[in-house]
Structure 1
Amino acid sequence: MAKRLGFRVVVAEPDADVSGFAKIINSCDVMMGVHGAGLTNMVFLPEKAVLVQVIPIGGTEWLSKTYFEEPAKDMNIRYLDYKIRVEESTLIHQYPADHVVLRDPSEIWKQGWSAVQSIYLSKQNVTLDVNRFRPTLVKALELLHQ
């Protein structure tokens, strides 16, 4: 879908060649990824690039804002986020639909950071609903053309 919208898509993961990876990121106008340490590579983005953060379920909005949205703005990087729905999380295959993990993440937060980390940040993968995600990519294009 991103290619059809006009993006040149580069899939890259960091390795021992930090300099080479930094050059790849610095050549990008848009970087997207699921909330996590990999998004810290935004430090290699050029000014006025766009960072798209995919926010998993689990009440991690505060973390997402504090760790990535606010720093991006301070770095003159435009920021967009996409909050997944439960249906886009692999957790729906691991827990019953009425389980507290899916129904009320605030209860898991009461159990402490290790509970949150082990459930929402370690066990969860996302599968984007591309039709629902499309407007986020269109907005990224609009920001690039401003």
Structure 2
Amino acid sequence: MQPQMLIISCGGTRKLLNQEEVAAAATELGFNVTVAEAGAFVALVNAADVLLAVHRAGLTNQIFQPTQAVVLQIVPWGNMDWMATNFYGQPARDMQLRYVEYYVDEEETSLKDKYPREHLVFSDPKALHKQGWQALAETIMKQDVKVNLARFRPFLLQAIDNLQE
């Protein structure tokens, strides 16, 4: 039986720009992939073995996943590790879900097309965090990501391995 993966799609910011390629890669590895807009899709989440999404509120849908399912969070650029782990990673573990994080690099963020590499968003993202929520909302939280499939593939395989434990 194929493991079920639900990819949360969104029309706002922090969307996965190469979502179709990620879905194709996951399908190639043996997942039965469903792509759905964030919203009222509890039944889809409950049927998914893996919930994959870029860091955003849609990941709260993990509360509808069955025990031992996998949450695969794509963490955007910009020193988002604390938020990623504490907002979604630890809660996933507390709900007896398996959790995988993928960290986007500078080449995978849409911020590279908006800011020079000397900008704080690249040179010192922590400094943006220290400036407060408004600074984050205007920069880091407005990015989209395009994952490098060669880098991302091992994380899909890790999701499969987690399901087989």
TM bracket, shorter-chain basis: over 0.9
Give 4+ residue runs of structure 1 displaced > 6 Å after superposition. none
Give the whole-Å Cα distance in 2 for the aligned partners of 1:133 and 1:45.
22
Give the whole-Å Cα distance in 2 for the aligned partners of 1:124 and 1:14.
18
TM-score (norm 1): 0.93
Higher relative contact order (CA 8 A, sep 6+): 2
TM-score (norm 2): 0.83
Equivalent pairs, count: 141
TM-aligned CA deviation for residue 57 of structure 1: 0.9
Matched with 1:132 is: 151
Matched with 1:6 is: 30
Unaligned runs of 5+ in 1: none
Give the whole-Å Cα distance in 2 for the aligned partners of 1:138 and 1:110.
36
Higher share of residues assigned strand? 2
Unaligned runs of 5+ in 2: 1-24
Matched with 2:8 is: none
> SS of 2:44's equivalent?
helix
TM-aligned CA deviation for residue 14 of structure 1: 3.2
Counterparts in 2 of 1:101-120, with a 5 A limit? 101-120=121-140
What are the Cα deviations for residues 104-129 of structure 1, in whole angstroms up to 9, with x where unaligned? 101111211111122111x2000000
**Over aligned residues, Cα RMSD in angstroms?**
0.9
Matched with 2:85 is: 65
Percent identity of paired positions between Structure 1 and Structure 2: 41
